[in-house]
Every structure is written in structure tokens, then in C-alpha cells.
Amino acid sequence: MNFINLDIQSDIASITINREKALNALNSDVLKELDQAIDIIEDRISDIRVLTIRGAGEKSFVAGADISEMVKLSPLEAREFLTYGQRVLDRIELLPIPVIAIVNGYALGGGLELALACDIRLATENAVLGLPEVSLGLIPSFGGTQRLTRAVGTSVAKSMILMGKKIDAKRAYELGLVDDVASFENLDEKLGKMIKTLKKMAPVALHAAKDAIYAASNTDIISGQELEVNYASMCFSTDDLREGMSAFLEKRKAEFTGK
Ligand code: CAA
């Protein structure tokens, strides 16, 4: 792969989008490689506990979909490109493991949309987040109108999308759009703590929780609660639930096996 570095160390997978000169903008080659990286992760999913995604360098996470490629597209070609981008981001959102976006700089357009498809966002102090597509004559189209609105509500989503308002890491934290902010110096430490916390959790329960939360945005409350109770009941068939509850009662640390 030319634009995506996938590194799997022990049980942590790390994707770096490696197109620094174009601020890691997503063209169709980058999307294809991201798709391939997810194939590899899915093949090895039982060995992986957490995925992280970042952009190469210290300036940009991802500055959006590639404008120099999009400018040449016909409506039908645009539909194909944008639908593909949506599908790749959906695959990330639906992975059964927690995915952390390390928002290291610009997260604009498709970049913020990629971060929104991840479960947790850790921003660096220089991060700038926004959906400036209307200034290009376009609208957010890798799921941004849907996921940003669900994440921060209609009012903030409208101000960010209609006015192309870019926000810094501090404001994104206040809005709950990012979960934590780190300087480049303490980024690894904060990331390490997040990963450590996630690795203490029961893997099957994490997967079930992700699916149930996904249903909250995509179904009515009655069906969502039915799904929730089905997942919760399924947890009672796992070794991990016995271990988690026994460990609590015996005042010891749980050792989960993911079974
Ligand atoms: N697509 C293609 N190339 C991009 C890019 C993008 N989204 N963003 C940056 N680049 C390229 C620039 O063209 C430039 O290339 P050259 O060196 O060959 O000229 C290089 O990256 C560096 O960028 P700048 O010189 O512009 O850097 P800067 O520090 O002055 O500005 C920036 C940084 C504010 C992020 C600015 O690059 C910018 O505004 N980028 C575009 C952001 C944007 O509008 N994103 C939305 C794209 S549309 C979209 O994503 C649709 C969707 O929903 C799927």
C-alpha cells in the first residue's frame, strides 16, 4: 500500500494515512487502501483489541476528500466516489472493536467525517475541525450531515455546515465532539491511557455496546431497546460476564478472554 500504513503490534492496530504533502486528503486510491486495510483488520479481528487512525505529520489528520480529483467528476462519477467513501467509513464505524481517531491537526470535510465514524476522538491542541464543503459548492458527503448532527445536534451542525465554521480543539472538547485534547508531547501518554482503559473492558460487551449505541441513531426507541435487551441477554452466555461479575464480588481484577 502506498498511502496507508497499517501496523499491527500485539493486539493494537494503527492506521496512518500517509499523504502528507496533500495534508492526507482522501482520493480514490487512499480510500481503496483504507478499505483494504479494513479487510486485513477484519481477517485478524479476534487478535485485535483497539484500532487507532491518524494522519501522517503534525499538521493534518485529513484535510478532506481530494478536491483536485473531485473537480473533474461528472455527477455519476461523483455519486460513485462519494458512495464509496461513505461505505468505507461505515465499515470503520461497524468494526466490532473500539476505534480511536487521533485528530492531529486539520480534520476538515471528509477528514472530520472520518473522525466521526470512529468511536473516540483524541485531538491535538492544533486541531481544526470543520465541514467547509458549502464554500466549495458542495455539501458534506461522507456522512457528515448525518453523523455531525447526531453528535452535536442540529443547531451546532447548522452553524458548522451552513457557515463553514471551523472550530479549534478546545471548542470541540466543550461540544463533546472530541473526548480529550493533548499536546504533541503528551499525546502518546493520553492515547496509551485510553487504550489501557479500553483493554480492561470485556471485548464481547464492547462490541454489543457499539451495536446498541449505533441502533440509538438508526432506529426507533422500542426497536432499539429490544435490541439492547437482546445484546444484554447474550452477554449472559459469555465467560467474560461470569468473570467480570465474579471478579467484582471477589474484589479482584477481571481477566477477560473475549469468550
Ligand atoms: N484536496 C486536495 N488537496 C488538498 C486538500 C484537499 N482537500 N487540502 C489541502 N490540499 C493540498 C493543497 O492543495 C496543497 O497542495 P500544493 O502544495 O500542491 O498546492 C497542500 O495540500 C497544502 O495545502 P495548503 O497550501 O492549502 O496549506 P495551508 O496550510 O495554507 O492550508 C488548509 C491548510 C486550511 C487545510 C487548506 O489546505 C484547505 O482549506 N484545504 C481544503 C479543506 C477543505 O475544503 N476540505 C473539504 C474537502 S471537500 C470534502 O471533503 C467532501 C466530502 O464531504 C467528502
The preferred substitution site among 17, 18, 19, 23 for testing ligand 1, maximizing ligand atoms within 8 Å of CB, is: 23
Q: Indicate whether this model's pTM tops 0.95.
A: yes
Report the atom number in ligand 1 closest to the C-alpha of 136: 44
**CA 64 to ligand 1 centroid distance, Å:** 7
Cα 40 to ligand 1 centre (Å) = 29
Catalytic pick from 113, 185, 226, 255? 113
User: The C-alpha cell of 238 is what?
Assistant: 459469555
| pLDDT score recorded for residue 39 | 98
- 130-158 burial: b if 16+ Cβ within 10 Å, else e: bbbbeeeebebbbbbbbbbbebbeeebbe
pLDDT at residue number 127:
98
Please say if 93 is a catalytic residue: no
- Rounded CA separation 200/243 (Å): 12
Which protein residue's CA is at the shortest distance from atom 29 of ligand 1?
59
Which residue's C-alpha comes closest to atom 36 of ligand 1? 63
pLDDT score for 115: 98
- Res 182: pLDDT: 98
Q: What is the residue whose three cell numbers read 426507541?
A: 221
CA distance 58 to 24: 11
User: pLDDT value at position 56?
Assistant: 98
Q: Under the phi-then-psi rule, with left for phi > 0, alpha for psi from -120 to 50, and beta for the rest, what region is 153?
A: left
Classify 3 in phi/psi space as left (phi over 0), alpha (psi -120 to 50) or beta: alpha
How much distance in Å is there from the Cα of 149 to the middle of ligand 1? 24
Task: Give me 132's grid cell.
Answer: 467547509
d(CA 244, CA 241): 5
Q: What atom of ligand 1 comes closest to residue 131's alpha carbon? A: 46
Catalytic status, residue 77? no
Contacts made by residues 66-74, CB under 8 angstroms, sequence distance 24+ = 66/22, 66/25, 66/26, 66/27, 66/28, 66/30, 67/25, 67/136, 68/27, 69/27, 69/28, 70/138
> Which run of H or of E encompasses 14?
strand 12-17
Q: What is the mean pLDDT of each run of 10 residues along the chain (259 residues)?
A: 96 98 98 98 97 98 98 98 98 98 98 98 98 98 98 97 97 98 97 97 97 94 96 97 98 95
98 C-alpha to ligand 1 centroid (Å): 29
Residue pair 127/157 in contact (Cβ under 8 Å)? The answer is no
Q: Which domains does the chain have, with CATH numbers?
A: 4-199 (3.90.226.10), 203-249 (1.10.12)
Residues with CB under 6 Å of ligand 1 are 22-23, 25, 63-68, 85, 106, 108-110, 113, 132-133, 136, 138, 140-142, 144
Distance 130 CA to ligand 1 centre (A): 12
**pLDDT value at position 230?**
97
For ligand 1, atom 16, the nearest C-alpha belongs to 22
Task: List the beta bridge partners of residue 100.
Answer: 52, 120
By three-state DSSP, how is residue 118 classified? coil
